[in-house]
Amino acid sequence: MVKIRLLRMGKRHSPFYRIVVIDSHSKRDGKYIEEIGIYNPLRKEETRLSLERVSYWIERGAKPTETVTRLIKDWERRSHGSKRADRVDGKGTG
């Protein structure tokens, strides 16, 4: 089974994570199939995620972990929110 999960990077007391597609039997920091984003809990503005690649892997049966599911929902909310505010008159939709 393939999973979408976090791979811990960084040094002690200052972690950051890669969001990766990985075989479920691999170690947490083991070899992965593809990196689809990064998550920095200390600097939220550095978080990035490729929603196209997430949907590609989910269509092929990859299961995101609970934390990654939460990050995907937050990223979708942020990316859709910025699109709504980018109207020509500058007023947004809501």
Number of domains in the chain: 1
Q: For residue 90, is pLDDT > 70?
A: no
Is 91 inside a domain boundary? no
Backbone angles phi, psi at 8, to 5 degrees: -75, 135
> Which pLDDT belongs to residue 82?
58
* pLDDT (0 to 100) of residue 83: 52
Is 70 exceeded by the pLDDT of residue 29? Answer: yes
Q: Is 68 a member of any domain?
A: yes
* Any domain includes 33: yes
pLDDT bracket for residue 13 (50, 70, 90): very high
Give 6's pLDDT tier (boundaries 50, 70, 90): very high
Q: CATH number of the domain that 64 lies in? A: 3.30.1320.10
More confident residue, 7 or 91: 7
Asked if residue 59 has pLDDT above 70, the reply is yes
Range of the domain at 73: 2-84
Question: Which tens digits make up the pLDDT trace of 62-79?
Answer: 999 999 999 999 888 887
